[in-house]
Structure 1
Amino acid sequence: MSGQKSIGIQEVPRADKWLVLSFQHLFAMFGATILVPYLVGISPAVALVSSGLGTLAYLLITRGQIPAYLGSSFAFIVPMQAAIGDFGIEGMLVGSFAAGVAYGIVAMFIKTSGVRWLMNVLPPIVVGPVIMVIGLSLAPVAIGNSMYEPGTDIYNGTLLTVALITLLITVIGSIFFRGFFGLIPILIGIAGGYIASIFLGVVDMSPIAEAEWLAVPEFYVPFVTFTPVFSWTVLFIMVPVAVVTLSEHIGDQLVLSKVAGKNFVEKPGLHRSIFGDGVATMISSFLGGPPNTTYGENIGVVAITRVFSVFVIGGAAVMAILFGFVGKIAAFIDTIPTAVMGGVSILLFGIIASSGLRMLIDNKVNIGEKRNLIISSVILVIGIGGAYIQVTDEVTIPGVALAAIIGILLNLILPGRTIIKDTNELFKTMTESTEEKTE
């Protein structure tokens, strides 16, 4: 689509064009946004509503200057599963809210002290391996959903066939599709896997026919539908993952800046965009949804279409909210076999792990140096091995959090640390390394 007329950030498209462009963004985020709640056992309809409301809040906080869509965060899948397993959804939502508060605190420090301190605390040698830990820790989930009967360890060859077909379609879409369709391989894979599941007789479509067109999602509202469950362990499970999402957020802002030809890190400021991310996550936690983060898929849509309008993004957010109240969509999501989600997850979780490796490569981190080798090795083994510290009977620091904390400490303590002094030069380098993402 090179050479086409772009639409500016504050420009309002013609109504019919506006609808189509917003629908594109809805398609781009849909597959990933419903996959996260599906995997952790919370309502995908609530996730749609919370992503829409979170995006609208983000646009307001960033003064309508950053065309970014926010959806369910993959980085939080492992901690959400752990928190729900130990403390229920009620406990997980408290941890999610705390993660949003952590964003706000970081935004406040960036506003007063700049961003250099954050980059020195969270360099690629720490964040990259932590991302790899998150992706690799999810591998058993993907394989389990692909091979076994739901909720059991009973092998099912038909389900594995469905998963492999889904994986194949997703891979083909990722490699061979171009333009907008190249940005929605998850959605295409889910659709293809679902069709294959119908032919193989593993889908019960009766709930779709029985569902109402309009239905209120299963919101979890604190002090209204449940009493929040607080635990220090929940905070240790959820909050440290902000190490990863903050780094991802900065990367997304740099890519968007490159695409739009504007420095969003300076105006409206990284502190505003991070705070917007935090508020979106807090809103989601008040409704029963997962933590939110800016979506690379939608950045890709912006890059291809050259449509930078925040009104288009806002339109997609309103559509997501409306879709959340369509009962037949929620029923359809519930009928998707776990094997379909498992097949998509095999690729997605591998990509998460690989993106951590890519962060090391893009930033030219020399693993041959003993310092870097030690930091990355310790993070990987502690995180993937599931090590934890039992502080008290009620407080536990789990594997991913422990890996992140030890990685940060090792980076600060071990000699030979590179201290960033010129953030402008750093952002220039990082922007160059992310340029290919916009191609």
Structure 2
Amino acid sequence: MNKPILDINEKPTASQMITLSFQHMFAMFGATILVPKLVGLSPAIALLTSGIATIIFLFITQFKVPAYLGSSFAFIAPIIIASNGGKDPGNAMLGALAVGVTYGIVSLIIWKTGYKWIMNLLPPIVVAPVIMVIGLGLSGVAVDMAMNVNGEYNFLHFTAALVTMFTAIIFTVYFKNILSAMPILLGLVAGYIYSMIVGIVDLAPVKKADWFALPDFLIPGVDYEFRITSSILLAMVPIVLVTISEHIGHQLVLGRVVNRNYIKDPGLHRSILADGLGTFVSALIGGPPKTTYGENIGVLAITKVYSIYVIFGAAVIAIFFSFFGKAMAFIQTIPTAVLGGISILLFGIIASSGLRMLVDNKIDMGNNRNLVISSVILVLGIGGAALEVTEAFKIEGMALAAIVGVFLNIILPGRDKNSEIVDYEEKNEIA
């Protein structure tokens, strides 16, 4: 393994700190602001809470894990459902608070009982199809954003979407340096420039905006009523089944990149707790749920700069940037078509990553048990199935698909123990 340029606890020079921290901030920037733009939350709050959540994560993991936390794509559909299409964002925040608490409970159980049970509960045959549902279930949203204006097809806007999408594809496929780690941001930049050229960008909000502006906070009991219902919980909390598995995957990949075993030290219970507390604090002020970011892991792998100080610096920059009023107003002027173009690629990659999980874990789809589980999850999730017992008790879409998938995996006979990633020491030990 190549020697790192800056290892975990090595301090960069002042110039390195600024340059490398900005690099990490921009790597996560496109995806982090895209989530709130899609669900009707504030991009400024998303940036602010990503910085705060990252600092929380670093503290709880004892400054051993150089991970950056950004907005989670897994919660896009649940937020839309919980907030009634964006009309009641407070409901989504209450759901996110419950998600943070759930993370805390899971971390406590892992601390007391070990981590193997969690992957027995969430094997690839359950998690992979649910990940595919996350991407494919949002495909209609992405295409509508790319093609239509007020429900009608618009050729000019669709060309902006295509420019955005193809730019991101080019940087993903043909570049191998740091640029390949931030295709979302670069796609948005190219799409925005094209949109300005063809005249579909309105810069008036930027001219009106102040240089300094407070983000749009959403405080429980102040901006919305603190009243958690079963429908809110059922829309948001079951997604934890997927995001915890995603978290474990990120910790394993990150561990391989920096030559550490983070499942053992500082421990999976600490990193899950940190992720959950970051989500909880984010929701307290109006930010979306958080997750560790693959984009930033990619930056670490490319640059071989693992310094925890650089990640901390990126978090501080994101916090300061969130109060830059004109920059936040500029983000609001990004055409919907540009967001749609990048979403087509991004949601497709999410779906494909679920397919890749099946392949990487050598899941036998000729096995009727695996075929049944994956098929039911895909159709329930993408089809938008809903189980409505009463008006207040309703499980739908991805949440229902995840719960049914876990249930089927438990009760169906013929479970293949080799298909479960349960022994980290044997399968993922760092050399």
Does the residue aligned with 2:153 lie in a helix, a strand or coil? Answer: coil
Q: State the Cα distance separating 1:177 from its structure 2 match.
A: 1.5
Partner of 1:256: 254
Cα deviation code 1:307-331 (max 9, x no counterpart): 1111110100000000100001110
Residues 109-188 of structure 1 mapped to structure 2, 5 A cutoff: 109-149=109-149, 152-188=150-186
Q: State the Cα distance separating 1:262 from its structure 2 match.
A: 1.1
Q: State the Cα distance separating 1:228 from its structure 2 match.
A: 2.4
Change in 2 beyond 3 A, CA 1:421/1:352 = closer
Q: Give the count of matched residue pairs.
A: 430
Q: State the Cα distance separating 1:188 from its structure 2 match.
A: 0.4
Partner of 1:37: 36
Conservation of the 8 A alpha-carbon contact between 2:123 and 2:419: no
One-letter amino acid matched to 1:287: I
Partner of 2:8: 9
Cα deviation code 1:134-192 (max 9, x no counterpart): 1111001100100111xx21111111111111111111111112211000110000000
One-letter amino acid matched to 1:109: I
| Counterparts of 2:419 and 2:344, CA distance in 1 | 40
TM-score (norm. length: structure 2): 0.97
| Counterparts of 2:384 and 2:190, CA distance in 1 | 35
User: Which consecutive unaligned segments of at least 5 residues does structure 2 have?
Assistant: none
One-letter amino acid matched to 2:93: L
Partner of 1:416: 414
Cα deviation code 1:55-99 (max 9, x no counterpart): 000000001110000000011111111111267101100101111
2:198 to 197, 200, 203: 200
| Counterparts of 2:39 and 2:168, CA distance in 1 | 21
Partner of 2:100: 100
Change in 2 beyond 3 A, CA 1:265/1:235 = same
| Counterparts of 1:399 and 1:303, CA distance in 2 | 35
| Counterparts of 1:344 and 1:197, CA distance in 2 | 14
Conservation of the 8 A alpha-carbon contact between 1:52 and 1:321: yes
User: Which consecutive unaligned segments of at least 5 residues does structure 1 have?
Assistant: none
Conservation of the 8 A alpha-carbon contact between 2:127 and 2:245: yes
Change in 2 beyond 3 A, CA 1:168/1:42 = same
Partner of 1:233: 231
Moved more, 363-372 or 300-309: 300-309
Residues 247-326 of structure 1 mapped to structure 2, 5 A cutoff: 247-326=245-324
Conservation of the 8 A alpha-carbon contact between 1:116 and 1:420: no
Does the residue aligned with 2:219 lie in a helix, a strand or coil? Answer: coil
Query: Is 1:358 the counterpart of 2:393 in the alignment?
Result: no
Residues 330-341 of structure 1 mapped to structure 2, 5 A cutoff: 330-341=328-339
Change in 2 beyond 3 A, CA 1:426/1:66 = closer
| Counterparts of 1:428 and 1:294, CA distance in 2 | 24
Q: State the Cα distance separating 1:399 from its structure 2 match.
A: 1.6
| Counterparts of 2:79 and 2:360, CA distance in 1 | 29
Q: State the Cα distance separating 1:430 from its structure 2 match.
A: 5.3
| Counterparts of 2:56 and 2:74, CA distance in 1 | 21
Conservation of the 8 A alpha-carbon contact between 2:120 and 2:422: no
One-letter amino acid matched to 2:237: V
Conservation of the 8 A alpha-carbon contact between 2:130 and 2:242: yes
Conservation of the 8 A alpha-carbon contact between 1:108 and 1:271: yes
Conservation of the 8 A alpha-carbon contact between 1:166 and 1:193: yes
Query: Is 1:62 the counterpart of 2:28 in the alignment?
Result: no
| Counterparts of 2:219 and 2:138, CA distance in 1 | 28
Change in 2 beyond 3 A, CA 1:428/1:200 = farther
Conservation of the 8 A alpha-carbon contact between 1:34 and 1:44: yes
Conservation of the 8 A alpha-carbon contact between 2:373 and 2:405: yes
Conservation of the 8 A alpha-carbon contact between 1:51 and 1:70: yes
Partner of 2:79: 80
Conservation of the 8 A alpha-carbon contact between 1:73 and 1:293: yes
Conservation of the 8 A alpha-carbon contact between 1:255 and 1:431: no
Residues 387-426 of structure 1 mapped to structure 2, 5 A cutoff: 387-419=385-417, 425-426=423-424
One-letter amino acid matched to 1:351: I
Conservation of the 8 A alpha-carbon contact between 1:254 and 1:427: no
One-letter amino acid matched to 1:50: T
One-letter amino acid matched to 1:143: V
One-letter amino acid matched to 2:111: K
Partner of 1:328: 326
One-letter amino acid matched to 1:75: A
Q: State the Cα distance separating 1:429 from its structure 2 match.
A: 2.9
| Counterparts of 2:298 and 2:4, CA distance in 1 | 17
TM-score (norm. length: structure 1): 0.95
Q: Percent identity?
A: 53
| Counterparts of 1:254 and 1:230, CA distance in 2 | 34
Q: State the Cα distance separating 1:225 from its structure 2 match.
A: 2.8
| Counterparts of 1:76 and 1:295, CA distance in 2 | 14
One-letter amino acid matched to 1:389: L
Q: State the Cα distance separating 1:293 from its structure 2 match.
A: 0.1
